[in-house]
Amino acid sequence: MTKYPAVFLDRDGTLIDDVGYIRHTSEVSFYPFTSEALLMLQEHFLLFVITNQSGIAKGLTTEKEVSEVNKYILNTLKKQDIIIHDLFCCPHKNEDNCECKKPKTQFIEKAATKYDIDLTRSFIIGDHPSDVQCGINAGITPLYLLTGHGRKHKGEISNETIIYTNLLEASKYIINKNKQT
Ligand SMILES: [Mg+2]
Ligand SMILES: [Zn+2]
């Protein structure tokens, strides 16, 4: 059986503007290049979103608010024929010591089993060092973005990390790379 490669996408600072803990759909602002990038990627990859939403554990947002926002994001993308196969959301804060908060890999492992994913050909894209570390921990290629918190934390990632200005540039890299294999 053929296994599918996947791209795991961070949410805030990757697909949409990072404006802090989002409670309402009115605060969601997609980057102008998000749709183009995802349409390109989904031709060759299964798409997933993995998001850390510690605002829930901190009492700054509720599970319901975050879930409404997530639904809205998936629906908005769906209207543009973009299919996100699954969205995984960690509601915990660091002190909770959960198994799902990036850079931990539980969600990637879950997706890999459920959707028959070939991790050796998969990628993770995000704007935080924890996204990069999550990719390393899971054995998939991480791409670091300079949108969102990317510029601020750039000094914290290792020299060999692949860096792109935004999701569209990272997606072009992935598509090219995929053609070569
Ligand atoms: Mg982010
Ligand atoms: Zn968690």
Q: For this structure, is 12 an active site residue?
A: yes
| Domain containing residue 127 | 6-180
Residue with tokens 């791409």: 143
Q: For residue 175, what pLDDT is reported?
A: 96
Give the number of whichever ligand sits closest to the CA of residue 95. 2
Q: What pLDDT is stored for residue 52 in this prediction?
A: 98
- What pLDDT score does 112 carry? 97
pLDDT of residue 2: 75
State the pLDDT at residue 181: 67
Q: Does a structural domain hold residue 130?
A: yes
Determine, yes or no, domain membership for 47: yes
Report if residue 101 sits inside a domain.
yes
Closest CA to 120 of 4, 40, 13: 4
pLDDT score, position 179: 84
Separation of CA 17 and ligand 1 centre (Å): 9
Q: Cβ contacts of residue 51 below 8 Å, gap of 6+?
A: 10, 11, 12, 70, 87, 88, 89, 90
Candidates 133, 59, 47; CA nearest to 93 is 59
3-state secondary structure 92-108: CCHHHCCCCCCCCCHHH
22 domain residue, yes or no? yes
Nearest to 9 by CA among 85, 115, 113, 69: 85
10 catalytic per annotation? yes
pLDDT at 123: 98
Centroid of ligand 2 to alpha carbon of 87 (angstroms): 13
The active-site residue, picked from 10, 81, 118, 131, is: 10
Domain annotation covers residue 27: yes
Is 1 domain-assigned?
no
Q: Which ligand is nearest to the CA of 56?
A: 2
Q: How far is the CA of 55 from the centre of ligand 2 (A)?
A: 12
Q: According to the model, what pLDDT value does residue 5 have?
A: 97
Using the mean position of ligand 2's atoms as its centre, give its distance from the Cα of residue 90 in Å: 4
Q: How far apart are CA 14 and CA 150, in angstroms?
A: 9
Q: How far apart are CA 102 and CA 10, in angstroms?
A: 10
The string over 70-93, giving b where at least 16 C-beta atoms fall within 10 Å of a residue's C-beta and e elsewhere, is beebbebbeeeebebbbbbbbbbb
Q: Is the pTM of this model over 0.75?
A: yes
Q: Please, are residues 146 and 164 in contact by the beta-carbon 8 Å criterion?
A: yes
Q: Which ligand gives the minimal distance to the CA of 22? A: 1
**CATH number reported for the structural domain that contains residue 84 in this entry:** 3.40.50.1000
Whole-number pLDDT of residue 22: 97
Direct distance between the N- and C-terminal alpha carbons of the chain, in angstroms, rounded to an integer: 18
Give the pLDDT score at 178: 86
pLDDT, mean over the chain: 97
List, for the chain, all residue ranges whose pLDDT scores fall below the cut of 70. 1, 181
Q: What is the pLDDT of residue 1?
A: 60
**What is the tally of structural domains in the chain?**
1
- Residue position matching structure tokens 């996947």: 6
